[in-house]
Structure 1
Amino acid sequence: MAAFGVYGTTRNWPQLDEAGKPLKDGEGKLLWGPAPTIVFPYQWQGEVVNRKFRSDRKQFQQDRDALRTLFNADAIKTADEVILVEGEMDVLACWEAGFRQVVSLPDGAPSKLLDEGDLKRLDDQRYDALETCAEKLAAVQRILIGTDMDMPGGYLAEEFARRLGRVRCWRVTWPDGCKDANDTLLKHGPEGVQAAVAAACPMPLEGIFDMRDGCLHEFLHNGREPSGLTAGIGDLDEIARLPAGGGWLTIVTGIPSHGKSSLLRTWLICTALRSDLGIVWCSPEDNRPEVLALRICSVLLNHPMKAAGGYVPEALLAKAQDWVRRKVTFLWSDNPDTEMTLEWVLARAEEAKRRFPRNLLVLDPWNEFEHQFTRHESETQYTGKWLRKLKAWGRAEGMGILIAAHPTKLQKDPKKGVYPVADGYDINGGANWFNKADLGLTVYRRDEGYPEVHCWKARYDAFGKRYEFARLKLDPRSGRLASTSSRDAAHSNMEDRHA
């Protein structure tokens, strides 16, 4: 401590009870008394400009109207790197470990992180010490932030990065079970402090990915690598598997009435039965959520809701309803003033995800939403912008995105008299649909009751097999699709169209 001019004394402090609360006399006035005190001198340009007092009960005081500067600020003599910690004892601990250019604020960490534009943040005198040392700090190439590992310490680290420039800030992570540098020194010695500082990682930068130690192992073992969920429908699973994880975009298209919504209901419900898939489902075409819920129940039970013998048994319906309640959240509004814009959908989806475990957002169909173009914005530009936004939102929220979208009006083949199999290039809005999709499917009905599912895009093999298709069988009573067990091995004619 001698290197810093730190010394001990006795000073009057408010007396505290065993719980740390101030003691008061009969008139409600604080009781004062002497207590052992450590004094930390704050020097600036060779002179003591402030003193910070710390009692044996961790009470703190400073000289009134003193110049705010960093503790140990005069030790900053070179521009290579500086370590910023949270308190004077942490500065001493780093010094003991061999580091000299180590400083701390006089006022500790904030209790919350304010928005960057908040006026209270701009007026916070806690950071006046940074202004005093601004010229010295501006020349430093690398700033290592070793604040405490609790929530306030995280807030302080973020505020340091904001004020000093995130691009030159590295975060020091103290070992498990250690709150700060001093704790690390006591439990692991100087070597523990040195190891933590040496392992500091760059603070995250928007748009830049740093390959930190262990990130690939974490990626593989946390299930974040591209993978697809199966539905247990053999023929369909062979050519398409629902992308699992946040940010993956699945596009399903097809001529109206060819069975896009039927595919979605069977594919998603069967997948949810076999996995932790939780769905936020927005389907304006169904008029009311109960309509879609009943269709889902019919697929789930593989039983019509109403048949010649009457309605489905009440106990069976209640069981299906309970499953749907746990696995599906419906977005819907009967307010005539509500515009079902994509902003509205994402806001509601975020709320649903905070209430229930949900990891897939379904928009069916795209044309039923209120699309608000900006001035001079084409449909192609709007579509590209929103597909990018949806994928970015999905990554941030940990949700996949599935969109059902109608193709443009297709022309029949003049010789065969049949429509071609549409793909992403045929959807209103241009090639964005094909380019942005991670999995692209088309539902095509060649024969009544036997819809085909064609895969026209699979960004990764785990998602499907491009240019292959599955022929399924529709149960008209329940609306459920099943394998035909005779999947045609021939390629879809889409390959010929875009060869």
Structure 2
Amino acid sequence: MIITEGLFDAEAMIEAGFANTVSVPNGAGTDFKRSFERFKYSHLADIKTVYIAGDNDEEGLKCRANIAAYFGEARCKQVEWPDDCKDANDVMMKYGKERIGECIKAATDCPITGAVTLNDISGRLDVIYQEGLKPGLTIGVKGFDHLVRFELGRIMVISGYPGTGKSSFEDFILLSLARQHGWKTAIFTPEKYPTELHYMELAEILTATKFHRDSMPKQMMQNAINWLADNIYHIDGEGGAAIDDILHVALQLKQRYGISVFALDPFNYVDLPMIAGANDTQKISNVLKKIVAFAHQQHVFVIVVAHPKKPDDFGKTERAASLYDIAGSADFYNKCDYGIILNRDKERDLTFVNVLKIRFKHLGQTGKCALKFDRKTGRFVGCKETYDEKNDIIYTPLQYDYDNWINATPIVQELPFEDEDVMPF
């Protein structure tokens, strides 16, 4: 069967020798179910191929898509007209019936919406073959760089018990990515209220200087404010925290300012959607699916800070949290590309970064490293690992970084994944 968008086009097709032609009754606005459903089993069930011979204009392309969706793309072919013709009637008037026959013979299979074949991505696959997989970006922290490589379009989940420094670690990552790689950030962080206090903290990390006129010169302050204004944007949660609203603002910031990172800290401030019959686990899964879709479609790196559920023996043991301990759903583990748990060793005053999940090898590797948090600057430094006579590990923090990041040129050393100073699981 051949389907056209108008009666004159159907008449042109019939005149060209294709009697098995019908037209949609109301052009691009046709209700296909209402128009064709009554013939579904009596006339249409045995038709093996549907040729979609609609118009080439914008409305015609919508009509073509609707026809393919109704009949199923697998049995549809799309007919293309010459560039100077809008429809079958134009072709008949300009070139005659023979050219219409040529267009029918040249019809191609309709693409199946939502399906990806190797041919669709062959160009990108060939780039990987020719050039190899490019490793993600690093931020210049010994130990951590060997475990995590940052790449746009990915999801990172950071978790850990209260007091492990999740937000501090996230802020350090955001500023490092912006400073070293130009990745601007949009952050939804209702806990950092009011927003000016969070900007104050970021300015202190950025300059390694206390945000006060007695410590920070006015010009340094102004430079920090200008830099933050160009690189870090906040999403207000006062008007509601539905994920659709949050992602809408993130999208606008992407389109206007070109953000590359979206941070959500913490996840439990997101209002779960009202879904009839769904429990919290299913609602969280729904929210996470939308976040993943945003990361992939907008090519944005997403960081989600999520709190683990409090264990019964919290405070009595040193048991580390796992990604499956995150409150509400195992989907935090299932849907992330990087899964990180932070642990604090109060006796040694160290933060242990446990990378429990890496989806692809070029994004890093699982393992554990020790970092030292400098409370004066809000920055993290790596540690050198040595062994004593009992074969216990001794962690020695590297030299603290007190540079003003606005003026200093970042030095990021490219390192191989394998490192004798990283503790693998």
Aligned 8 A contact 1:444 1:452 in 2: yes
* Paired letter, 2:267: W
Query: Residues 490 and 241 from structure 1, CA distance in 2 versus in 1: closer, same or farther, beyond 3 angstroms?
Result: closer
Query: Residues 364 and 471 from structure 1, CA distance in 2 versus in 1: closer, same or farther, beyond 3 angstroms?
Result: same
Q: Report the counterpart of residue 461 of structure 1 in structure 2.
A: 361
1:356-406 deviation line (CA, Å, top 9, x unaligned): 323443211123344467677554444334333432454455444321112
Is 1:285 paired with 2:191? yes
Larger radius of gyration: 1
Is 1:200 paired with 2:109? yes
Q: Report the counterpart of residue 345 of structure 2 in structure 1.
A: 446
SS of the counterpart of 2:361? coil
Q: TM-score, normalised by structure 2?
A: 0.71
Q: Report the counterpart of residue 54 of structure 1 in structure 2.
A: none
CA–CA distance in structure 1, aligned partners of residues 143 and 378 of structure 2: 17
Q: Report the counterpart of residue 410 of structure 2 in structure 1.
A: none
Aligned 8 A contact 1:226 1:460 in 2: no
1:161 deviates by 3.2
Query: Residues 137 and 344 from structure 1, CA distance in 2 versus in 1: closer, same or farther, beyond 3 angstroms?
Result: same
* Paired letter, 2:264: L
Aligned 8 A contact 2:157 2:336 in 1: yes
1:246-290 deviation line (CA, Å, top 9, x unaligned): xx4321011222211121112122223344634321001101222
Q: TM-score, normalised by structure 1?
A: 0.62
Q: Report the counterpart of residue 371 of structure 2 in structure 1.
A: 472
Q: Report the counterpart of residue 292 of structure 2 in structure 1.
A: 391
> How many positions carry a matched residue from both structures?
382
SS of the counterpart of 2:163? coil
* Paired letter, 1:82: I
Q: Report the counterpart of residue 260 of structure 1 in structure 2.
A: 166
Q: What residue ranges of structure 2 are gaps of 5+ in the alignment?
A: 386-418
Query: Residues 445 and 145 from structure 1, CA distance in 2 versus in 1: closer, same or farther, beyond 3 angstroms?
Result: same
Q: Report the counterpart of residue 159 of structure 1 in structure 2.
A: 66
* Paired letter, 2:165: G
Query: Residues 83 and 438 from structure 1, CA distance in 2 versus in 1: closer, same or farther, beyond 3 angstroms?
Result: same
1:62-114 deviation line (CA, Å, top 9, x unaligned): xxxxxxxxxxxxxxxxxxx5364678579869997x9775665687656xxxx
Higher alpha-carbon deviation: 371-380 or 356-365? 371-380
Query: Residues 426 and 220 from structure 1, CA distance in 2 versus in 1: closer, same or farther, beyond 3 angstroms?
Result: farther
CA–CA distance in structure 2, aligned partners of residues 332 and 278 of structure 1: 17
* Paired letter, 2:157: I
* Paired letter, 1:442: I
SS of the counterpart of 1:233? coil
- Of the three residues 289, 295, 318, the one matched with 1:419 is 318
Q: Report the counterpart of residue 361 of structure 1 in structure 2.
A: 262
CA–CA distance in structure 2, aligned partners of residues 259 and 349 of structure 1: 25
CA–CA distance in structure 2, aligned partners of residues 215 and 171 of structure 1: 21
- Of the three residues 306, 309, 327, the one matched with 1:408 is 309
Q: What residue ranges of structure 1 are gaps of 5+ in the alignment?
A: 1-80, 111-120
Within-5 A mapping of 1:327-338: 327-334=231-238, 338=239
* Paired letter, 1:405: A
1:311-369 deviation line (CA, Å, top 9, x unaligned): 3433x4444444433433311144xxx44233442343344344432344321112334
Q: Report the counterpart of residue 437 of structure 1 in structure 2.
A: 336
Q: Percent identity?
A: 23
More strand per residue: 1
CA–CA distance in structure 2, aligned partners of residues 444 and 381 of structure 1: 28
Q: Report the counterpart of residue 235 of structure 1 in structure 2.
A: 143
Aligned 8 A contact 2:52 2:77 in 1: yes
1:448-477 deviation line (CA, Å, top 9, x unaligned): 6642221001121122212x1232333323
* Paired letter, 2:228: V
* Paired letter, 1:435: N
- Give the superposed CA RMSD: 4.4
